[in-house]
Amino acid sequence: MLSWLSHSTGLPFLDARDDFDRARRAQFVAGALRRLAGSRGPGVPATPPDEVRQPAGVPRLAVLPLSRIVGTVEPSPHFDERLRPASGRLRTRWERVALAARRGVALPPITVRERPDGYYVLDGRHRVSVARATGQRDIDAWVTNG
């Protein structure tokens, strides 16, 4: 059973909004703790070396543990290092993805690049963010090596 089920009101729209608010609070707290610890970095997702940004081989479909996703190919100031929403500007799209997930809509696989240190998201930051915030452990992905 997914942990987000324990936070269900029975109204998926309200639950998706609450999911976003919880994820934003978690990002805010993580940022405050990072500042208290003396780290001045913004906490943006890890950016891979330049060779990861280059085109790679033929993708394969796989189920990935979310814990192995370590960053994005193109970092965004709207997400922190754990792909939590770092901006309220994401709310509408993030909540649409969360609502679809709560309603059982099959979301398309994300696209990632595999590296020795983990996977870097090419497409699907919102889906990864929602999956992590709602307690999922894995996600469908198109994986390329490289």
End-to-end CA distance of the chain: 34
- Contacts (Cβ under 8 Å, ≥6 apart) of 26: 84, 133
Give the E-state strand segments of 10-137 in sequence order: 60-65, 69-72, 110-115, 118-123
Higher pLDDT, 56 or 22: 22
Which of 87 and 66 is assigned the larger pLDDT? 66
- The stretches of 37-53 forming alpha helices (DSSP H) are 50-53
Residue type for position 71 = G
| Higher-confidence position of 122 and 5 | 122
pLDDT tens-digit map of 37-58: 776 555 555 555 555 445 557 8
Q: What is the largest CA-CA distance in the chain?
A: 46
Give the CA angle between residues 99, 102, 106 to the nearest 5°: 90
Burial of 146: CB neighbours in 10 Å, binned 0-12, 13-18, 19+? middle
Predicted local confidence at residue 42, as pLDDT: 52
Domain-wise residue ranges, the chain: 3-145
Taking alpha carbons only, the member of 102, 141, 98 closest to residue 120 is 141
Q: Which CATH class is domain 3-145?
A: alpha beta
Mean pLDDT (the chain, rounded): 84
